[in-house]
Amino acid sequence: MNGYSDRINHAFAFAAKHHDREVRKGTRLPYLTHPANVAIILTRYGQDEETVLSGILLNVVQDYTRDGWTREEIADRLEEKFGADVLDTTIAIATRKFDDDGYEMDRDEQRADYLARLARSGQRSRWLAAADHVHNGASIIADLGRTVDPDSVWGRFAAGRVGTERWYRAVYERLVEIGFSGPILDELKAVSSEISNFGN
């Protein structure tokens, strides 16, 4: 894929409107820098347009699911614009606040739910999960490299340093366990290892 189309342009406009005035946690960077980088990573690995669109829209869908929106409600907002494949790819791995029965989950339950759904997801969703974590992890490493106070970076995360290290390792290991073999795995493994070893 060549990395540009009218659909991709439309997805960026939609995400920009949704994330208006949001910034990346602990920074002044516009939130849109994250979906833009996820899209770049997916394009770099030659993924198709549906997967790249999913990378741009993942956090939009994730915000909806965390607010308790149903698939039908999200579809009313997105499916006609971007298609069922994009919707299914993002919903499959969007972090949820509520389980299938409508009960609110704590952070550990949300993470267990994510890993369970990742195992049931399709190939596009697995690529999306990997790219999302590659960029988020690389951002953590970059921020750690720019600060004299690592605790100011780790303090952004409810799980702290140890929980964050475990999470990146868990996502990598789950992708390996379920047979995902995309070349991005090497990059995710390197990011996970660097997070664990930073400062040691």
Residue 23 has a pLDDT of: 72
- pTM for this predicted structure: 0.92
Question: Cα separation of 148 and 77, whole Å?
Answer: 44
Q: Structure tokens of 61?
A: 């869908």
Site of tokens 């989950």: 105
Kindly write down the DSSP assignment for every residue of 92-109, as one continuous string.
HH---SB-TTS-B--HHH
Q: Structure tokens of 103?
A: 């009960």
Write out pLDDT tens, residues 11-64.
999 999 988 877 767 667 778 899 999 999 999 999 999 999 999 999 999 989
Degrees to nearest 5, angle at CA 175 with 170 and 179: 145
Neighbours of 64 (CB within 10 A): 20
The answer to whether 88 and 75 have CB atoms below 8 angstroms apart is no
The single-letter DSSP state of residue 48 is: -
**CATH of the structural domain 6-197, one choice from 3.40.50.200, 1.10.3210.10, 3.30.70.980, 2.40.50.140:** 1.10.3210.10
The answer to whether 63 and 18 have CB atoms below 8 angstroms apart is yes
Q: Low-confidence residues of the chain, pLDDT below 50?
A: none
Residue 193 has a pLDDT of: 94
Residue 26 has a pLDDT of: 64
Question: Cα separation of 122 and 135, whole Å?
Answer: 20
Tell me which residue of 156, 190, 164 sits closest to 29, measured CA to CA: 156
Tell me which residue of 93, 99, 98 sits closest to 58, measured CA to CA: 93
Residue 113 has a pLDDT of: 96
Integer angstrom CA distances of residue 108 from 91, 97, 166, 167, 196 = 19, 11, 12, 10, 19
Residue 194 has a pLDDT of: 93
Residue 95 has a pLDDT of: 93
Within the chain, strands assigned E span none
